[in-house]
Chains A and B, each alone.
Chain A
Amino acid sequence: MKNIRLLLVDDEDDYRQTLAKRLTKKDITPEQAESGEKALSILEKKKMDIVVLDVKMPGMDGIEVLHHIKKKYPRTEVIFLTGHAATQDGVEGIKTGAFDYLSKPIEFEHLLGKIKQAYDKIEREEEKLRETEFRKKMEQQMMTTERLASLGTLATGVAHEINNPLAIINESAGWLKLILNKEEMAQMPRKQDFEMALNKIEKGVDRAKRITRQLLGFAKKDDFVLAEANLMELANEAVQLINREAANKDIEIVQEMAPNIDTIWSEPYQLRQVLINLLTNAIHATGSGGRITIMLEAVDGEVALTVQDSGHGIPKENLDKIFEPFFSTKSTGEGTGLGLFVTRRIIEKLGGTIEVESLLGRGTSFCIRLPRYCEIKEDLDQDERIRFLDNLAKQSGST
């Protein structure tokens, strides 16, 4: 009963104050209002569980106040106090949404009982609401899991089916190139055109190959090859790869690398991919003339790698979602919604963490922390599943 937030509304000062005193003795300290208008202005500022409301008041009467309360604060319960034998008012009150009514003169114990009942109702409904939200969240998580599972299956299938024809294209182009290099072909007309086109085919195959491997890398967990990784070099390579895009938008890329960082034991190619993902995002978020900073420093025996942009920032409501699969604010076809999701999976797999800070209109920074020596968790999916199940048990146990 102590936690009940109660508002007592009655224009008769003596009556109201007496009631308030008695309630206070019972550990419920009510707020008081001497008119409907005052009651509403208190409700504006402070959330109330229960309003005990006199019907007959000068100015705004109880029924009108009740209307306002139910419209603006549907979860606040109202107990009506009607005049002697004015059952009509009480009935109308209940029709409007009051919890119940009591006729004056009231018995204090009676009022106390009603307050308790109303509060029980509030608690029940809050619990129901929590349950609904929890179920909704779980359903969403399950949907995500299913979507990922089917994406994984699809990805593996696609990658395999495409790798085979890709291999045929690759061998054919390679063979033609071999022939072109034979002595008998030295005088072939327009030989350079053929060579140029064949090189383009091979480059195309390479690109497609990278994509299928990435898809498989997403679906599979065991393609990590740990090696010495020089973050400074990896950053340089990543910058080179996206440099043209940055230059097109007149974005300056600054590297602030602490000189004393040695190589770390990790997965260089995945880390480079992470850097490319983050830099590409940064370029997309940053307007022309902006600046992107890559920072590398040693922190508490780990290394911290930060990609910071001066872009448009991420709205608060999106910050929680950006690492979710398929979440994208880019228009369809431009973003897969997988970039940051894959990025986080890679970082977590490598025993690190990734955090984001963003200020609307000022920019965003992604900070990665990596251990100097990485030991791969063998079965990340299993870990995730166990964590998920643990959380589930905890949550359902607490409600």
Chain B
Amino acid sequence: MIKIPTKVLLVDDEQDFVEMLSLRLNEMGEKITVAYSGREGLDTLEKTDIDVVILDIKMPGMDGIETLREIKKKFPLVEVIMLTGHGSTETAVEGMKLGAFDYLMKPADFADLSTKLEAARKRKDEQEERIRKAEVKLLLRRSGDI
């Protein structure tokens, strides 16, 4: 079976980390775009089709939570997995209340990350599928009206 790559946007100010994790995810067959700040991440989302954002919570400038709010406002269907180097799960929980799919603690276990990435992608696919079906119904009803 051919793996359909998940389109991942990786947002973190730690350049080395971004580089290595994207290499690793690429190697696993995902399609990775990177951004080094929240602002850059949002710009990327405007231009690029993304399934899942892996988002660092602690970043200079626009932090993860703020970025998350913006993402959910402008691109509600995009799933977000929060990354935290911090021990506090509070922020992560706050993130999930704001609509993040899940969170991981740095350094993350790669198997964990893969599982969560997969699940996030699945949720997005299913949601889009539901929307498509609803649209089809809508269309049918309209044409039925005619």
Give A residues with C-beta under 8 Å from B.
156, 159-160, 163-164, 166-172, 174-175, 178-179, 205, 209, 212-213, 215-217, 219-220, 222-223
In the bound complex, what is the Cα–Cα distance between A156 and B85 (angstroms)?
Answer: 10
A167: contacting residue among B89, B90, B106, CB under 8 A: B106
Q: A164-B106, A167-B107, A178-B24 are in contact. Are A219 and B87 (CB under 8 A)?
A: yes
The answer to whether B87 and A217 touch across the interface, beta carbons within 8 angstroms, is yes
Of B16, B85, B105, B107, chain A has the most CB atoms within 10 Å of the CB of B107
B124 to chain A, nearest CB (A): 24
A230 to chain B, nearest CB (A): 24
A106 to chain B, nearest CB (A): 76
The answer to whether B108 and A223 touch across the interface, beta carbons within 8 angstroms, is no
The answer to whether A170 and B87 touch across the interface, beta carbons within 8 angstroms, is no
A108 to chain B, nearest CB (A): 75
A223 to chain B, nearest CB (A): 6
In the bound complex, what is the Cα–Cα distance between A329 and B89 (angstroms)?
Answer: 35
The answer to whether B90 and A222 touch across the interface, beta carbons within 8 angstroms, is yes
The chain B residue sitting closest to A178, CB to CB, is B27
In the bound complex, what is the Cα–Cα distance between A172 and B20 (angstroms)?
Answer: 5
The answer to whether B24 and A175 touch across the interface, beta carbons within 8 angstroms, is yes
The total of chain B residues at the interface (CB under 8 A) is 21
The answer to whether A175 and B27 touch across the interface, beta carbons within 8 angstroms, is yes
Interface assignment of B75: CB less than 8 Å from any CB of chain A: no
B12 to chain A, nearest CB (A): 9
Residues of chain A lying within 8 A (CB to CB) of residue B106: 163-164, 166-167
The answer to whether A171 and B17 touch across the interface, beta carbons within 8 angstroms, is yes
Interface assignment of B14: CB less than 8 Å from any CB of chain A: yes
A218 to chain B, nearest CB (A): 9
A232 to chain B, nearest CB (A): 27
The chain B residue sitting closest to A220, CB to CB, is B87
B91 to chain A, nearest CB (A): 11
In the bound complex, what is the Cα–Cα distance between A178 and B89 (angstroms)?
Answer: 30
Residues of chain B lying within 8 A (CB to CB) of residue A220: 87-88
Closest 9 CB pairs of A and B: A216-B87, A171-B20, A167-B107, A170-B107, A163-B85, A175-B24, A167-B106, A178-B27, A171-B21
Give B residues with C-beta under 8 Å from A.
14, 16-17, 20-21, 23-24, 27-28, 58, 85-90, 105-108, 110
B87: contacting residue among A168, A178, A179, A223, CB under 8 A: A223
Given A160-B58, A167-B17, A213-B105, 8 extra CB contacts under 8 A: A163-B105, A164-B106, A167-B107, A179-B27, A212-B87, A216-B86, A216-B87, A220-B88
Residues of chain A lying within 8 A (CB to CB) of residue B24: 171, 174-175, 178
Q: A166-B106, A167-B106, A168-B20 are in contact. Are A223 and B89 (CB under 8 A)?
A: yes
B125 to chain A, nearest CB (A): 25
Of B24, B89, B90, chain A has the most CB atoms within 10 Å of the CB of B24
Residues of chain A lying within 8 A (CB to CB) of residue B88: 156, 216, 220, 222
22 A/B residue pairs, CB under 8 Å, sorted by A: A160-B86, A160-B87, A163-B86, A163-B106, A164-B14, A164-B106, A167-B14, A167-B106, A167-B107, A167-B108, A168-B14, A168-B16, A171-B20, A178-B28, A205-B107, A209-B107, A212-B87, A216-B86, A216-B87, A217-B87, A219-B87, A220-B88
A221 to chain B, nearest CB (A): 10
Residues of chain A lying within 8 A (CB to CB) of residue B23: 171, 175
The answer to whether B107 and A163 touch across the interface, beta carbons within 8 angstroms, is yes
Residues of chain A lying within 8 A (CB to CB) of residue B85: 160, 163-164, 167
B7 to chain A, nearest CB (A): 19
In the bound complex, what is the Cα–Cα distance between A159 and B90 (angstroms)?
Answer: 16
In the bound complex, what is the Cα–Cα distance between A215 and B85 (angstroms)?
Answer: 13
Of A175, A215, A222, chain B has the most CB atoms within 10 Å of the CB of A175
The chain A residue sitting closest to B26, CB to CB, is A175
Q: A171-B24, A178-B27 are in contact. Are A164 and B87 (CB under 8 A)?
A: no
B16 to chain A, nearest CB (A): 5
Q: A209-B107, A222-B90, A223-B89 are in contact. Are A168 and B27 (CB under 8 A)?
A: no
The answer to whether B28 and A159 touch across the interface, beta carbons within 8 angstroms, is no
Residues of chain B lying within 8 A (CB to CB) of residue A175: 20, 23-24, 27
B110: contacting residue among A159, A174, A213, A219, CB under 8 A: A174
A38 to chain B, nearest CB (A): 70
Residues of chain A lying within 8 A (CB to CB) of residue B21: 167, 171
Residues of chain B lying within 8 A (CB to CB) of residue A219: 87
The answer to whether A168 and B17 touch across the interface, beta carbons within 8 angstroms, is yes
The chain B residue sitting closest to A159, CB to CB, is B87
Of B17, B27, B58, B87, chain A has the most CB atoms within 10 Å of the CB of B87
